[in-house]
Structure 1
Amino acid sequence: MGDVDVLFLHPSTRVLTAEGEVVRYLAIPMGTFALADLLERSGYSARIVHTGLERMLDPSYRVEDSLRMLEPKLVGIDLHWYCHAYDAIELAGCVKRYSNAKVVLGGMTASFFAEELLSSFGCVDYVIVSDAELPMLELTRAVTGDGDVHDVPNLLYRKGSVVKGSGRAYVASGEDLDKLTCSNIRLLKDWDLYIRLIHENDALSPKLKTQGWLMIGRGCSVNCSYCGGASLAHRSIFGRQRPIFRSPEKVVEDLRVFEELGISCAYMDFDPYPDRKFYYRLFELVRREKVDISSQFLVWSLTDRNFVREFRRAFNPLYTTLTISPETGSESVRLLNKGFYYDNQSLLRWLEMLEEEMVPVELYFASGLSGEDVEEFKKTMRLGERILRAYHNVVGASCSPLFLEPCSPRFLMPKKYGIRLKFKRFSDFYEVYRCFAEGAVPPSRLGYETEHLDEPRIIELSSKFNEMVNSLMMSEKANPMVE
């Protein structure tokens, strides 16, 4: 094949177990598809390779095979999620060993740790800090042309041993997002298998289900203590003062393409304003255009009945669910940690309303929240059990220990949130995921401990919750007629 201008490599989170290697967190950031498509429409050739997916399909797969086949001039590696810290650097090193391509990293984790990445890893040539659309286009033009990158916006690079930047800033607007196409997943090698495997943690995940992640906007209006994508992060990394949306028309265009590609369910995780005015317009347009697709919608706050009815009318019911993350059964802990607060009675009334409207719902809880001790977590156990016993439209409930996220309020202000940081630099995240990949015991799994709970206890609490859920579900299967 050969002579591809830009190759996007998606890193994987590899975990070596006694049974062999497991690849986790399969989703590719939606912006990667948009960038590859933007380059293609601008006259450059671009391809995407999901290295974890390729290893799942063929354990003998090596990244150097893709490099030799495609001969890219520039390789983009997404380091959006911290769980890819180790593999992103491994990929960058591989690119340098087996090709002459330049390497650029981007995404929220790369942006936050940009200077450390360039200072510590010679295999990384550039880091795009913040939004990448215009910078990636200009960087590609420079690398495939005159090689002068000094004026590329949002770009950091090395000059000798010194990290430099152009000084030009670019912050994407809603109008900029409307110029993107986020559904050209055919640029991904083995895309047809990717859409069948992406819903790895979904409660409704039969083999026939296919899923695509939908880009709706960027940013957040609140600060959840544990979230690296909170309003504070978008202000400090991106310079974005408020959330931005694509137009409903552009979102529906992507939904239409999803339908044509055989994607049966659109994953929607962008809900920064409780009034949801945008979604009423979107749902009406979905109905008018007769797009036939399901939706897994992650709501960030409780909704009213009208929203639920409009949502239900817009999407095919086959795989359609609403998902919410109360995180805890303790109202005081929820108030301290959640940007959108609601009390338990309001949550229960909302679940009852969803049951009346016949809409399935999934719930996510967490352990390791600030202000939480063992007694407070018992409230989470009691709330979870009450919900599972009372509401038959609940198709899934689980609890996970919180991981420390870079640029989250807890990372930036640990004393305020009562935690002790064990991860402070990129190298700390790199080390823990190196240990996972090599089957070693990491010095820390979560990156922190709270003033009340150490790491083993935080992990143990989530396990207890999930054991309770499994026990209740097994009991219900054994006695389906028992109310």
Structure 2
Amino acid sequence: MTDLLIFHIGRKEKDRISIIHMPYGVLLSCDMLNKNGISCKIFNAAAEISAGKKFSLTNIIKKYEPKILGFTLQWHSQMLDTFKEIRKIKKAFPDKKIIMGGITAYFFSKEILKREKAVDFIIRGDPEIPLLKLCRKIKYGERDFNNIENLSYRENKKIKENPIKYSIDEKTFSSLNYSNFDYIINKNSVFKVSNNFWVGIKNNKIFYPEPFKKRFFYITSRGCFYKCSYCSAANYHLFCGRKKPVYKSPESTAKDIKKILNQGIDNIYFPTFPDTDNKNNFYIKLFKILRKKKISFNCTIDCFKLPDKNFIDSFYKTFKNNLSDSFIVISPDSFDEEIRIKNKNQNYTNKELLALLLKAYALGIKIRLYLIAGLPFSNKKTFIENILYSKKLYAFKNLEIINNTVPIEPFSPLFLNPKKYDVKIKCKTFKNFIFKKSGDLGYSTKNMSEKNIFNLIKIFNEEMSKVSQDFHPIEIRNTN
């Protein structure tokens, strides 16, 4: 018998399954609960379908007999399928209390509680302590939820939103682990598909765009210094009451990573790099500990800023025996420096980027650059400039360049302030987001329609294929 069973529902369409990865912070919440007397398990339904397994959520609930059910709602593309499943489950188990959490759940908390009667509670922002308090009250039959921070719920048919007073601190963050994979009921399916962001469906058979590897996404921090026009992160963390990023300690992270590697993970992906001024030097400290403990692995790390020489040197020293399957990911977004600073608030130059690429090339470090088509203020001229500059950069044999789109996101500056970015928002309401097709951007810029943007990506892929036999364009359809 389990107190809380958390489900992650992805999005299933005729030709694909997407949102396969659950937000891995749910493992920390699960760890917090299990360490404090509330038994908790996780079932990733999207991964189970993607692994080709048949199952029934009803049967899983009957087997584990949870009193409380949780659902992740991190990304808006989950909404349609998630609410369908919640309604079915509430009908079958009317006495089960249902909790939701995640960025999208926070943004639409009032709308969800107003429209989706099957949902009982929403936790806005960091969930660890509020979720623990809520589960204790439900478990022991208490009905007063006024003192639970970050909580939205109904009381006497009215929606109540308790103040945002909790955000995780370093001590709590460092005390919790990602490595307790036994919390995941279907962990084998989760790691079978972990190297893919989506899987395809053709003739009723599932195919995988990426080869089989066990990959884990390790979140080392919460919070973001940057305010990219298209991203929810910075605004979301402000709404969470976080004044600056909080880090898991390097010591705790290294210990956790060792446990993860002992469970057969091939690649660890660090999708957060919040260290803008290098005063914290989190990764430099972490890499030093990894070398001291002789912990090495295939590593991919997202650098939302331009990493400096010390970082490159430290990365090389730590992963020099794993460079064939390790990457540093940098997102200049555009090679037009003016557009970059307007959309990312980062003012590094192409000359500085080139110097970094030369340094990485000399050390044999693979670099992956991400560009974004359809950024505010961009046009066909700047797009052609991106193609020309990309062709020049392909002289580096250790380089990949990916040009993609980013859909409209709640909490993003672009969504909250479209006039500033001179964009026209098509996806404005809760209902719009629920029924938005996964291939839609949800906005157009002053200079380009959605159709223009997707056509330009096709041109980019065609042009890049001419200059590099190793160029493999990713599918341009958005899968978020």
The structure-2 alpha-carbon separation of the partners of 1:285 and 1:455, relative to structure 1 and needing over 3 Å to count, comes to same
Partners of 1:147 and 1:319 in 2: CA distance: 52
The structure-2 alpha-carbon separation of the partners of 1:382 and 1:129, relative to structure 1 and needing over 3 Å to count, comes to same
Contact 1:302–1:342 under 8 Å retained in 2: yes
The structure-2 alpha-carbon separation of the partners of 1:222 and 1:167, relative to structure 1 and needing over 3 Å to count, comes to closer
Matches within 5 A, 1:111-122: 111-122=106-117
What's the counterpart of residue 257 of structure 1? 259
Partners of 2:13 and 2:354 in 1: CA distance: 37
Matches within 5 A, 1:400-439: 400-433=404-437
Taking structure 2 as the reference length, the TM-score comes to 0.90
Shift, 1:9, TM fit? 0.4
State whether structure 2 residue 383 is matched by structure 1 residue 377: yes
State whether structure 2 residue 84 is matched by structure 1 residue 90: yes
The structure-2 alpha-carbon separation of the partners of 1:260 and 1:340, relative to structure 1 and needing over 3 Å to count, comes to same
Partners of 2:91 and 2:61 in 1: CA distance: 10
Matches within 5 A, 1:24-423: 24-58=18-52, 60-99=54-93, 100-148=95-143, 149-167=145-163, 169-200=165-196, 207=211, 209-230=213-234, 232-235=235-238, 237-276=239-278, 277-315=281-319, 316-317=321-322, 318-388=324-394, 390-394=395-399, 396-423=400-427
Contact 2:196–2:210 under 8 Å retained in 1: no
Shift, 1:129, TM fit? 0.7
Shift, 1:63, TM fit? 2.1
The structure-2 alpha-carbon separation of the partners of 1:14 and 1:454, relative to structure 1 and needing over 3 Å to count, comes to same
Partners of 1:306 and 1:406 in 2: CA distance: 36
Alpha-carbon RMSD: 2.0
The structure-2 alpha-carbon separation of the partners of 1:240 and 1:476, relative to structure 1 and needing over 3 Å to count, comes to closer
Partners of 2:255 and 2:419 in 1: CA distance: 46
The structure-2 alpha-carbon separation of the partners of 1:288 and 1:146, relative to structure 1 and needing over 3 Å to count, comes to same
Contact 2:423–2:445 under 8 Å retained in 1: yes
Q: Cα deviation per residue 1:164-217 (whole Å; 9 max; x = unaligned)?
A: 134462122122211211221221123133224222269xx9745321111211
Q: Cα deviation per residue 1:409-465 (whole Å; 9 max; x = unaligned)?
A: 1111100001111122222111115xx5xxxxxxx8111111111111112112222
Match of 1:189, SS state, is: coil
Shift, 1:466, TM fit? 2.5
The structure-2 alpha-carbon separation of the partners of 1:466 and 1:134, relative to structure 1 and needing over 3 Å to count, comes to same
Does 284-293 or 165-174 show the bigger shift? 165-174
What is the letter of the counterpart of residue 91 of structure 1? E
Contact 1:268–1:297 under 8 Å retained in 2: yes
Partners of 2:270 and 2:471 in 1: CA distance: 30
The unaligned stretches of length 5 or more in structure 1 are: 437-443, 478-483
Contact 2:275–2:282 under 8 Å retained in 1: no
What is the letter of the counterpart of residue 26 of structure 2? T
Partners of 1:91 and 1:41 in 2: CA distance: 29
The structure-2 alpha-carbon separation of the partners of 1:341 and 1:432, relative to structure 1 and needing over 3 Å to count, comes to same
What is the letter of the counterpart of residue 171 of structure 1? S
Match of 1:362, SS state, is: strand
Shift, 1:344, TM fit? 1.8
Does 349-358 or 160-169 show the bigger shift? 160-169
Does 84-93 or 4-13 show the bigger shift? 84-93
What is the letter of the counterpart of residue 17 of structure 2? V
Partners of 1:31 and 1:251 in 2: CA distance: 14
Shift, 1:228, TM fit? 0.6
Partners of 2:36 and 2:452 in 1: CA distance: 52
Does 58-67 or 371-380 show the bigger shift? 58-67
Match of 1:23, SS state, is: strand
Contact 2:51–2:192 under 8 Å retained in 1: no
Please point out which of 5, 8, 20 is paired with 1:7: 5
Partners of 2:448 and 2:215 in 1: CA distance: 37
The structure-2 alpha-carbon separation of the partners of 1:307 and 1:425, relative to structure 1 and needing over 3 Å to count, comes to same
The structure-2 alpha-carbon separation of the partners of 1:331 and 1:65, relative to structure 1 and needing over 3 Å to count, comes to same
Contact 1:321–1:361 under 8 Å retained in 2: yes
Match of 1:29, SS state, is: coil
What is the letter of the counterpart of residue 4 of structure 2? V
Q: How many residues align?
A: 456
What is the letter of the counterpart of residue 245 of structure 2? P
Shift, 1:117, TM fit? 1.0
Taking structure 1 as the reference length, the TM-score comes to 0.90
